[in-house]
Amino acid sequence: MVKLKFIIRDDALVLRISENKQRYYKSVKHLLKGNPNIDRHWNNDKERFTSYAVSYAENNQILDDFKGFYQSLIKEYPELSAKQVALFYFSKPQEEATEIKTPAVCNNNLDLVENFLEVVIEREKAKQGCNFEAYYKLQEEMPENPQRILIP
């Protein structure tokens, strides 16, 4: 039977996933808010931060959610070993990425460059806080008549 427990290992808070003598560890340091002092504010018996810790309520909730995900995985699939549970990747749901059209087959190099710039501009627009104006200006400067370009 797979067991879960939060412990301090190498001065970091980790989720220990164990079964018999097999032990695997998942770090939760990257999930914690406010960089709490783990040695001072972690209650190992209750597996929770004390009320003196920075952002203790949010961090305790984050830890409960993290452990709850693996507990539900173990309950739903009791045949999984500790290694299989540990290798299961936990991530927060991400926003759906917008689909970007890939450029169609082009007749000449100029069409290829224009289609490439359109794809780059769409990708930059999809990112938050990105600047696509340089690509847009470059696209506007593309000549309408391809014969004007002298290719060596």
Q: Where are the domains of the chain?
A: 3-87, 109-148
Residue pLDDT, tens place only, 1-54: 899 999 999 889 999 999 999 999 999 988 899 888 898 999 999 999 999 988
Cβ atoms 17, 33 nearer than 8 A:
no
Q: Is 54 exposed, middle or buried (0-12, 13-18, 19+ CB in 10 A)?
A: middle
As given in the structure block, the two tokens for residue 38 are 């783990």
Which has the closest alpha carbon to 8: 50, 51, 37?
37
Cβ atoms 135, 117 nearer than 8 A:
yes
Predicted TM-score (pTM) of the model is 0.57
Residue pLDDT, tens place only, 88-144: 865 554 444 444 444 444 455 666 777 777 777 777 777 766 777 777 777 777 766
